[in-house]
Amino acid sequence: MAQITLTSGATPAFLSKNYINRDCYNASAVAVSSGDTIKRRLYDGDPTGPWNSVGSSDETTETITIGLYQGNLLATRSIDFIALLNINLKGFVLEYSANDGASYTAFTGGTQTVHASEDFIISLASPVSANKIRLTMTTTQTANAEKSIGQFVAALGTLQMAKGFTSYEAEWIEAEMASEMANRTKQYAYIYSADNSFEMYAASAGFRFVPAAERTSLRDIKNTAAPFLFYPFPGDQVRTLSLGKFRQGSFKDPFSTEYIGAGYDISFEFEGVGGS
């Protein structure tokens, strides 16, 4: 597909699953120079609970190296989207390798010396092939702080809608269990899907007059076996980037009018599945 637009007002987008995931972790292919006990936070789906370095400073270079795995096999992925969300990094280099780390190439735009934003996102004009990604971090926006990353995403864009939503409603579902005591008081327990979150993103959405080609692409996304990333507002709510699926039976695509060529009115319910 064409490069994903990230400017304010950009239309909703769909991407592959995050290729930085539990398969990489289970294959022992996520290597961090420090902060090893919390490295799963890099892909757990919650940017508010970051990975942090330990004992770092602007004089200490920290690295994260991730082999991209499918199950227990190293996998070469097509990647055109990289996101580092909720970060404090100032100087860093993002690189990829297609030969299991024998050599690396910097992503276009991936070398930063004075980055000043809390998020960093690259949308490439053309995908690259990679089976390993390396992030080398030197300095932080506040001098000598621990390096911090809330979410590390590497994916392939699959569809960006030509038009925006005609309906959209987000829902944040808490994993909560309530028990009523004998005296009628209640106790609550929460099941955390990530270290810092017990809620999961969900949304109902609709589009009108969707062309036939976009309808086909959406149906292909619906019928994929793997979860995918849903990016409802890529230029405005950059951290609302969730891994999930269309809720079973929720995808509807009637004709917009009696004239078939007018397109389709498509609606669906999306439910997050979490990344950890």
Q: What is the structure's pLDDT at 191?
A: 59
pLDDT for 108 beyond 70:
yes
- Taking residues 152-179, report their average pLDDT: 88
- Taking residues 95-100, report their average pLDDT: 98
pLDDT for 263 beyond 90:
yes
Q: What is the structure's pLDDT at 2?
A: 72
- Taking residues 210-239, report their average pLDDT: 95
Q: Which domains does the chain have, with CATH numbers?
A: 17-155 (2.60.120.260), 167-272 (no CATH)
Could you give the percent of the chain with pLDDT greater than 70? 91
**pLDDT averaged over every residue in the chain:** 93
- Taking residues 244-271, report their average pLDDT: 94
Q: What is the structure's pLDDT at 172?
A: 85
* 50-71 confidence digits (pLDDT tens): 999 999 999 999 999 999 999 9
* 13-38 confidence digits (pLDDT tens): 999 999 999 999 999 999 999 999 99
Residue 97 binned pLDDT confidence (cut-offs 50, 70, 90)? very high
pLDDT for 244 beyond 70:
yes
pLDDT for 237 beyond 80:
yes
97-128 exposure pattern, b = at least 16 Cβ within 10 A, e = fewer: bbeeeeebeebeebebeebeebebbbbbeeee
User: When comparing pLDDT for 234 and 259, which is higher?
Assistant: 234
CA separation for the pair 247, 271 (Å, rounded): 6
* 109-141 confidence digits (pLDDT tens): 999 999 999 999 999 999 999 999 999 999 999
